[in-house]
Amino acid sequence: MMSEKKSEVEEVNPVWARFCQVQIDGWLEWVTSIHVNSYLEMADRFIGLNPYYVPNTEEDRTPLFDQLMINDEFLSSLSDVGLSVWANSNFRDFLVALRPYGRVDKQLQYVVDFFDSQVAWFSRVYQFVRASAIKGLREQGRQI
């Protein structure tokens, strides 16, 4: 008797799904304008040398975060409920929404694979970047 293997389907966060849909054209333009493997090699070295890196979120947002994960204009366009959903999500939620796009573009798949290989580091750094974005939105009067 064969045992049934459960298919584990990850639920996609609706805010991250919309974010990916809005951002995909810019991402594809970005990954084709750089040498992705060299960029990811450099990022991997940085992570290896700075495993406990804490960004100065006011000045230190890396292009990787600005290009892929934080878009102030998109965040400003969300309703308070949407902002709450986003604020209570994490880096893994972003990856779940991003994975299907990696299957469509090989260069973007390299980025997804890199994120997967360094998920703990990116999750920790993303928490700092997200906290800074939330602080800025609250200062603008948004209810989060």
Residue holding tokens 């200062």?
139
**What is the model's pTM?**
0.85
Q: In a structure prediction context, what are the per-residue pLDDT tens digits for the chain, which is 144 residues long? A: 444 444 467 899 999 999 999 999 999 999 999 999 999 999 999 999 999 988 876 666 566 666 678 888 999 999 999 999 999 999 999 999 999 999 999 999 999 999 999 999 999 999 988 998 899 999 999 988
Chain centre to alpha carbon of residue 44? 16
Q: Torsion-angle region of residue 71: left (phi > 0), alpha (psi -120 to 50) or beta?
A: beta
User: Cβ of 88: how many Cβ atoms within 10 Å?
Assistant: 12
Q: Are 132 and 58 in contact (CB under 8 A)?
A: yes
Delimit the domains of the chain by residue range: 14-139
Give the separation between CA 1 and CA 24, rounded to whole angstroms. 45
Describe the crossing of helices 14-33 and 106-117 by its angle, rounded to 10 degrees: 120
